[in-house]
Amino acid sequence: MKIGRKVTAILGIMALIVALLVFNIVHLAIQAISFYVVLTPAIIFGFYWKKANNKAAIWSIIIGLMGVVAYLFIDPVQAFIPGVVLSFLTFILVTFLTKNKRLVLTPS
C-alpha cells in the first residue's frame, strides 16, 4: 500500500509538470495516446501468438516507451510511430532469443 501511494504521488507530480509545460490539450492527448499505443504488440501477440512470452512483452513495452520519449522531442505528433515499430521488433526479437515460457495472463 505504501508503494502504491508513493508511485501515485510521483506520477501525479509528473503529470502536473507535463500539464504545465504543454499548453495545448490536443498535443497532450496525442502524447498520452502515444504511450498507450506501445502496449499494442504485447496485447496482440499475447493473445494470438503461441510463442509469446513474458520477457518479450515486458521488453517490448520498455523499448517502445523509450522510443516514444526519444521521438517526442523531434516530432511530438508522430512520436507513436517509432515507438510502435520498436515495440513490435523488440517483441519478435526477444521471443526468438528467450526460452519458450508461455505468456500467462492472470486477472489482477
Q: What is the pLDDT of residues 66-84, one digit of tens each?
A: 988 888 888 877 888 888 9
Q: How many helices (H) and strands (E) does the chain have?
A: 5, 0
Sorting pLDDT into bands at 50, 70 and 90, what band is 32? confident
Cell of 106: 492472470
Radius of gyration of the chain (CA): 16
What's the mean per-residue pLDDT of the chain? Answer: 83
The residue-averaged pLDDT of 26-51 equals: 85
Using CA atoms, how far residue 88 sits from 7, 34, 38, 53, 71, in Å, is 28, 14, 9, 13, 16
